Amino acid sequence: MIKAIINGNSIESLEGSSILDAARKVQIKIPTLCKHPDLKPGAGCGLCIVKIKGSRKMLRACCTPLENGMEIITHDPEIVETRRTVLELLLSNHPNECLQCGRNTNCELQTLFSDFAIRSEDFPKYIPQHPVDRTTPIVLDPTKCIKCGRCVQVCQQVQNVWALSFLDRGVNTRIATAGDIPLNESPCVKCGQCSAHCPTGAIIEKDETKEVWNALQDPESFCVVQIAPAVRVAVGEGFGYAPGTNLTKKLYSLFRRLGFKAVFDTNFGADLTILEEAGEFVERFAHGKGPLPLITTCCPSWVDYMEKYYGDMIAHFSSAKSPHEMVGVLSKTYYAKKRNIDPARIKMISIMPCTAKKYEITRTKEMYASGYQDVDIVLTTRELIRMVKQAGIDFKELPDGEADLMLGEYGGAGTIFGATGGVMEAALRTAYFNVTGEDLKDVNFNAVRGLQGVKETTVNIKGTEVRIAVAHGLANVKTIMDKVRDAVQNNLPVPYHFIEVMACPGGCVGGGGQPYNVTDDIRKQRAKGLYDEDAAMTIRCSHHNVHVQQLYKEFLGEPLSHKAHELLHTTYSPRPVYLK
């Protein structure tokens, strides 16, 4: 342990801690803009300066290691005035567009301006003008960038995508795509982690709440909605609830209050995905019909990444669509037929934790398998929070509601899809049944839970070992995929039989469209909300969902049938970007 003194108080902290880390543990808040808990210190903003006895310099707390015997001052008039000057200089290069900004009232820079009572501009204004990039669901506005470097770090180091970098030098330094090309021509996979980590409105998701309002007010439209697993345990953060609070039934009530004609649940699609995906795995593992490993594909950012960098591995990817796409196509086929509704009138709105889902709904002809665009609009969790506030609804006072059972009933396996490892765990519950004809006595697979970047384990199915891996955060995924590619190319035994991939750290609970200021602690709390719901449910395996069984009996036939492939499966194409 390291012993030091901060503001006259003796403290102890673990070896390797920074001054910033140590101060936070004793409830001392040192302001910073460039440091995020997910990221290594960049020391770019200069706000976290502190004084250390024996040094003539002000040092940056985020990157200065705590040492034995240090005597540190974190706040005094000189330090506060220096921080104010740093903020005033940032303001001189920042547009005064708060009222029109997507981060208004939820902006870290705006909060600090308020904390430091900055009411005037004392430095000459210089704002380089750069065009706003709206070519993807991620909107990049360089004029609002404060050059903290968070987006570059998360894109390059956490996600291994390298779509963003610093261009130019000095006062002209800016965030842009490598080569200054449009974002949709770059390696970007639309995961939105850059927007989730940006402290200002320089990177935000494309807001489509107006389009949803227009659809709801159109008398010719029959608007239906679905919510992803991870949304229900994060949306409450926008209304004062603790992270992980499961608000499924309040959301059902909310959607009916907003005017949706039917309320579905993406968890139903997750149960359906499992029957198709587990069916694929058993075909390959037990019957040799296709190469191993089988790799999950319900994450659209991962699919984009795979097509760009692992196009040679397409044969290993599950062809099953993501759960919300399955619910989308069924709303315009099965549901429309059962309710005698013209599918042309149905507008499907998906509420997702993800910015890449906005891209996914347009990507291939298979996403129009109903004869129409199967999902019409995707809203992120953040957009839904804004929409509730626009509607003037007191969210906390809403009563509980219910979903429409036809495409809304789900089991515990469906709800854990939102956490890293959840898809694998859900698939194994049904794959075991498909191979043995028996249900597991214990359906919990604790080895695939948690935030470790790569999780590897084996599962025994009646004496046969199944080697599995779970990876989240695309930099971790590369480690797994390179190992598999090496084995395949050199005709070596594959290291795994079944792999789950999620692009975002923590899985969908940490998605790029979730409420801001996420940390690993918040990811854990959101995941716990999903696992707690699973543990409390009577039905915990997807193959026991009676409404899914009814769907197959009345409409699809059986998993992997011709009709199931036509509606619930998709194809992939290599789209190489560049070689690193």
What amino acid positions are annotated as catalytic residues? 277, 280, 298, 318, 357, 360, 366, 508
Distance CA 192, CA 114 (A): 27
CB 246 within 8 A of CB 391: no
The stretches of 38-192 forming alpha helices (DSSP H) are 77-92, 108-115, 150-153
CA distance 258 to 192: 27
**Coil, strand, or helix at residue 377?**
strand
Count Cβ atoms within 10 A of the Cβ of residue 575 and give its class: 0-12 exposed, 13-18 middle, 19 or more buried: exposed
- Residue 74 corresponds to which tokens in the numbers above? 């974190």
For 281, residues 6+ apart whose C-beta sits below 8 A from its C-beta are 294, 427, 431, 497, 498
The DSSP secondary-structure symbol of 18 reads B
Helix runs in 93-175, H state only: 108-115, 150-153
d(CA 23, CA 62): 10
Tokens found for residue 407: 């495409």
- Write out the H or E segment, with its range, that includes residue 203: strand 203-205
Distance CA 153, CA 34 (A): 10
d(CA 102, CA 141): 11
Strand (E) or helix (H) holding 464: strand 464-472
Helix residue ranges per DSSP H, 332-372: 334-339, 356-360
> Which parts of 227-355 fold into alpha helices (H)?
248-258, 266-287, 300-309, 323-331, 334-339
CA-wise closest residue to 44 among 199, 179, 181: 199
Tokens found for residue 478: 């590369």
CA distances from 192 to 144, 248, 289, 333, 505 (A): 17, 24, 36, 31, 11
Among residues 137, 130, 114, 120, the alpha carbon closest in space to that of 31 is found at 114
Please, what sign has the CA dihedral across residues 196, 197, 200, 205? Answer: negative
Q: Residue 177 forms beta bridges with which residues?
A: 164
Query: Phi and psi for 226 in degrees, rounded to 5?
Result: -140, 150
Determine the Cα–Cα distance for residues 74 and 50; give it in Å rounded to an integer. Answer: 5
- How do beta strands 174-177 and 164-167 pair? antiparallel
Residue appearing with tokens 């009232």: 105
In terms of Cα–Cα distance, which of 240, 542, 545, 518 is closest to 416?
A: 542
Residue 296 DSSP SS3:
coil
Residue 294 burial class via C-beta count within 10 angstroms: exposed 0-12, middle 13-18, buried 19 and up:
buried
